[in-house]
Amino acid sequence: MAISISVLLLLVILVTVFLRSGALKTSHAVVCVLLGFYLASTSVAPTIHDGLTATADIVSGLRP
């Protein structure tokens, strides 16, 4: 659950920065949100979740 919240927070921050800088229009943000909801209801959702979890595990295992 903590990984999902972290990813969600990162995405919200990125969308906010893009909207403020003018690089992302509101209509594009709405399309991205709708795509996310659509993907969450498909059979691809577990694969995306597993990929994000594996990436988070790799990143957390790195030692600078």
Q: How far apart are CA 18 and CA 15, in angstroms?
A: 5
Q: What is the pLDDT of residues 15-64, one digit of tens each?
A: 888 888 888 788 888 878 877 887 788 888 888 889 888 988 898 888 87
Q: What pLDDT sits at residue 1? A: 47
Among 54, 41, 12, smallest CA distance to 29 is for: 12
Could you give the angle at the alpha carbon of 3 between the alpha carbons of 55 and 25, nearest 5°?
Answer: 90
